[in-house]
Amino acid sequence: MVEFAPFKTIATMISSSYPSFSLPPKSSFAPMPSLSAATVFLRPLSSAPMGDDSGMDAVQRRLMFEDECILVDENDKVVGHDTKYNCHLMEKIEKGNMLHRAFSVFLFNSKYELLLQQRSATKVTFPLVWTNTCCSHPLYRDTELIDENALGVRNAAQRKLRDELGIPSEDVPVDEFTPLGRILYKAASDGKWGEHELDYVLFIVRDVNLSPNPDEVKDIKYANPEQLRELVRKADGGEEGLKLSPWFKLIVDNFLFEWWDRVHKGTLNEAVDMKTIHKLT
């Protein structure tokens, strides 16, 4: 049995010194278009947030009320927008079937090790779980609403890698992300909060500088496939208090190891399927 190496704390994590590495050249992406003045997006009517949130961390409170997620239907068509707060209330998710666009970044170094993160204790949904490199949402803004070649999502991924992990934008150029596919899932975090997301899976192979934001990230670790399998085994068995995020577990169970093997072989582009929306439970 492969022993899963102890996690490194952020304080002991050092920046990578590997040379820059990227996947084989892909076809160039179209230039960023601007939204048509005739395009109108409406926010669905919703009541003011209810409940006692006095214990919410100040940083998370600001993000929950200021960030506007993109609401979509099950075909990924934009139908509106709402606060991150409302989009993650299970009551609204269940009653209004509120579905928002999201992304999951899988960043590999030049040794093809996957960068994992443990979410901070102050995260509103799924605190302290281990997950893929970065998981978040494109916001309702011009640069992140661009559908062509998933450019809006890629722009958002670059932004959040900087915000959460301190990765400079030049270390993760938007044209280096490979959008592989989309999944649709729903998961409850606790009695109040949850996720209902149409999630874009993005791969990128780069050696990067890291400076994790403790408001977002508790810990980080690079793992090879054998180490990740051991982490999954321990999480499934309830060992050491380890837990995985539900979206990460769904991607691991259905796609990750095949795609990871393709990264090694240089055939990742052959796995791209942005037409199918996989409904996973």
From 68, 176, 195, 197, the catalytic residue: 197
The verdict on whether 230 is a catalytic residue reads no
Question: Which sequence spans correspond to the domains of the chain?
Answer: 71-279
In this structure, what DSSP letter does residue 24 have? Answer: S
- Active-site choice (68, 135, 164, 195): 135
Assigned CATH topology for domain 71-279: Nucleoside Triphosphate Pyrophosphohydrolase (3.90.79)
The CA distance from 211 to 206, in Å, is 15
69 annotated active-site:
no
Q: How far does the chain reach from its first CA to its final CA, in angstroms?
A: 29
Model-level pTM greater than 0.95?
no
Please check the confidence at residue 1 and state whether its pLDDT lies above 50.
no
Rounded to whole angstroms, how far apart are CA atoms 218 and 120? 4
Predicted pLDDT at 66: 75
Extract long-range pairs of 26-34: CB within 8 Å, 24+ residues apart: 26/175, 26/178, 26/269, 28/175, 29/148, 29/149, 29/151, 29/174, 29/175, 30/148, 30/149, 30/151, 32/143, 32/146, 32/151, 33/146, 33/148, 34/142
Report pLDDT for 191. Answer: 80
pLDDT tens-place string over residues 214-260: 999 999 999 999 999 999 999 999 999 999 999 999 999 999 999 99
